[in-house]
Structure 1
Amino acid sequence: MIVTTTNQVEKRTIAKYQGIVFGEVITGINVFKDIGASVRNVLGGRSKSYENELLVAREEAIAEMVERAKKVDADAIVGMKMDYEVLGSDNGMLMVTCSGTAVLLD
């Protein structure tokens, strides 16, 4: 399935709008990743464990959105947007959401 941040698909015409579809993932960050990130925060550098967690959450959110688009028989998702939030009393949860418009193409 085509997923794009643009409002159209190049060289294709949108025949019908099937509605807005969403993908949401909320994941916990464990204590070991927090410790590693704290060390990186003091010493500088990138936190590979957090980056990997974000990558997985992003891929899962997009996959969920695509599955929801398939349920409405869409060919593509246009205008896809993604958002990230930190949740929980100790900011220990990461939420990744994405949305877009499911469409049928000619």
Structure 2
Amino acid sequence: MIITTTETVPGKVIKEWKGFVRGGTIQSKHIGKDILAGLKTIVGGEIAEYTEMMEEARQKAIGRMVEDANSKGANAIVGMRLQTAAVMQNAAEIIAYGTAVYVEE
């Protein structure tokens, strides 16, 4: 699956527009990792536990978006975007979305 943030796929012709696709997940913090992260805020620096959690969430959201595009017969997604929102204390939502298309092979 080709995924671009642009409205076209460089070097390819879009043959068919398949429509809006999306994928999302809500991730909550692990209490053990939350304690470690709290300690890191005292000394400063990157909170690797949260970085890892958010990377995993992004990959899940993108994977679900790709599944949606595959179900529509697409072989590419253009205009892909990611959004994050806090849905409650200690939980974040990640949404990946874009437009599914079929490009020349």
The number of residue pairs the alignment matches comes to 104
Q: Deviations over 1:51-96 (max 9, x none)?
A: 11001000010000000000000010000000111221xx211111
Matched residue of 1:79: which SS?
A: strand
Match of 2:100 in 1: 102
Identity %: 35
* Paired position in structure 2 for 1:59: 59
**Match runs of 1:40-55 below 5 Å:** 40-55=40-55
| Misfit runs of 4+, over 6 Å | none
Question: Matched residues in 2 for 1:87 and 1:32: separation?
Answer: 21
Q: CA deviation at 1:30?
A: 1.5
Tell me the TM-score normalized by structure 1.
Answer: 0.94
CA distance in 2: counterparts of 1:41 and 1:83, whole angstroms: 25
Instruction: Show structure 1 runs of 5+ residues with no match.
Output: none
CA distance in 2, matches of 1:36, 1:8: 43
Backbone CA RMSD of aligned residues: 0.8
Q: TM-score, with normalisation over the residues of structure 2?
A: 0.95
* 3-state SS of paired residue (1:34): helix
Q: How does 1:5-20 map to 2 (within 5 A)?
A: 5-20=5-20
Q: Distance in 2 between matches of 1:86 and 1:31?
A: 17
The one-letter code of the counterpart of 1:3 is: I
